[in-house]
């Protein structure tokens, strides 16, 4: 009888121990990754116009320093085509990794690197060079960023992706950055030359027939508004105008909707009100002085 009780207690205790250990193993088996971009081995590189630089994409496992099964991964190395041009045939890719150059909807292009296991996953080292490409610098001044877009490592079942982080690399020709303004149907707005790290001077508000100006954005999809009071220039860039339908209102003195021409008029009215109040006060005080 005692042996049966002891066996039952052992089973309960072992069961209580096995469940947490099993759960812990499942957590440890879910890796996390860092997509690392480097230009000639550095995150920031000084170059001159005409120079050819090598861009490397490395995938690092960040939760452990051990090989792991890779099922699928992708990354788009985005670059400014007004600053760089891809050297044809320069891509060197890891085994079974494919790549192609993609056009964009603005001045950006991207080199797409993709891997898909045709079996049950292939063993990748904890740090793996996914591929390299070469870019010729065609920009004559300023700074250009090279970034990762749509980077992911797929899970085994393909229904999700593992946690990933990305970085950006910079190529510096000079600190004089060019800021372009794309009015998107409005009148032309002159470019500005802005020092790296400085703020942009707000340009004159553009006009467009049948539309109201709705601000400047840093992306062509108009999802990231530019704040002239807070944001600083980090690279050569283009700001895109946003519009809404309707006739343009007069230039605004502030976001409260008070037109510039209305400000002096309101000030004049305020002065008149003060003068009238003073006259009434004096008129009220004079009779009392006369009686005295």
pLDDT tens digits, one per residue of 115-145: 999 888 999 999 999 999 999 999 999 999 9
User: What sign does the dihedral 91-97-100-106 (CA atoms) show?
Assistant: negative
Q: Are residues 191 and 121 in the same domain?
A: no
Please give the Cα distance from 167 to 193 (Å, whole number): 26
Question: 10 Å Cβ neighbour count for 134?
Answer: 17
For 104-113, 173-182, 183-192, 251-260, which range has the lowest pLDDT when averaged over its residues? 251-260
Q: Are residues 87 and 154 in the same domain?
A: yes
Domain boundary among 131, 148, 172: 172
DSSP state of 161: B
Number of domains in the chain: 2
Helix or strand holding residue 1 (H, E): none
Percentage, residues of the chain above pLDDT 70: 75
Reduced 3-state DSSP string for 134-154: EEEECCCCCEEEEEEEEEEEE
Please give the Cα distance from 126 to 32 (Å, whole number): 10
For 88-102, 133-147, 153-167, 170-184, which range has the lowest pLDDT when averaged over its residues? 153-167
Q: Are residues 35 and 160 in the same domain?
A: yes
Average pLDDT for residues 219-237, to the nearest whole number? 95
247: tokens are 């006739």
Q: Are residues 153 and 39 in the same domain?
A: yes
Q: Are residues 56 and 110 in the same domain?
A: yes
Instruction: Decide if 183 contacts 236 (C-beta within 8 A).
Output: no
With respect to residue 254, please indicate whether it lies within any of the assigned structural domains: no
108 dihedral zone (left: phi>0; alpha: psi -120 to 50; beta): beta
Q: Are residues 77 and 159 in the same domain?
A: yes
Q: Are residues 166 and 193 in the same domain?
A: no
Q: Are residues 123 and 102 in the same domain?
A: yes
- Global pTM exceeds 0.85: no
Q: How confident is the model at residue 246 (pLDDT cuts 50, 70, 90)?
A: confident
Domain boundary among 133, 149, 172: 172
CATH of the domain at 238: 2.60.40.4270
Give the model's pLDDT for residue 252: 47
Range(s) of the domain holding residue 187: 176-245
With respect to residue 232, please indicate whether it lies within any of the assigned structural domains: yes
Q: Are residues 39 and 160 in the same domain?
A: yes
Helix or strand holding residue 211 (H, E): strand 211-217
């Amino acid at each position: 009888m005692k042996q049966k009780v002891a066996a039952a207690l052992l089973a309960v205790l072992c069961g209580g121990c096995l469940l947490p250990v099993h759960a812990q193993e499942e957590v440890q088996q879910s890796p996390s990754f860092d997509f690392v971009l480097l230009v000639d081995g550095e995150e920031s590189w000084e170059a001159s116009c005409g120079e050819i630089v090598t861009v490397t994409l490395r995938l690092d496992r960040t939760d452990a320093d051990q090989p792991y099964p890779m099922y699928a991964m992708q990354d788009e190395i985005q670059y400014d085509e007004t600053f760089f041009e891809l050297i044809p045939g320069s891509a060197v890719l890891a085994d079974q990794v494919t790549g192609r150059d993609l056009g964009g909807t603005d001045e950006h292009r991207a080199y797409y690197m993709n891997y898909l296991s045709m079996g049950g996953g292939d063993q990748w080292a904890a740090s793996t060079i996914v591929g390299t490409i070469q870019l010729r610098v065609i920009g004559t001044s300023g700074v250009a960023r090279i970034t990762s877009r749509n980077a992911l490592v797929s899970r085994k079942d393909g229904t999700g992706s593992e946690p990933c982080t990305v970085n950006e690399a910079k190529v510096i020709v000079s600190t004089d950055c060019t800021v372009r303004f794309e009015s998107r149907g409005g009148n032309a707005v002159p470019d500005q030359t802005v020092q790296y790290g400085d703020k942009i001077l707000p340009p004159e508000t553009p006009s467009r027939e049948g539309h109201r100006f709705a601000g400047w954005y840093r992306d062509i999809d108009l999802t990231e508004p530019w704040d002239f009071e807070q944001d600083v220039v980090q690279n050569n860039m283009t700001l895109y105008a946003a519009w809404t339908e309707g006739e343009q209102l007069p230039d605004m003195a502030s976001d409260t909707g008070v037109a510039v021409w209305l400000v002096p008029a309101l000030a004049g009215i305020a002065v008149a009100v003060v003068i009238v109040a003073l006259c009434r006060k004096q008129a009220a005080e004079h009779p009392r002085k006369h009686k005295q």
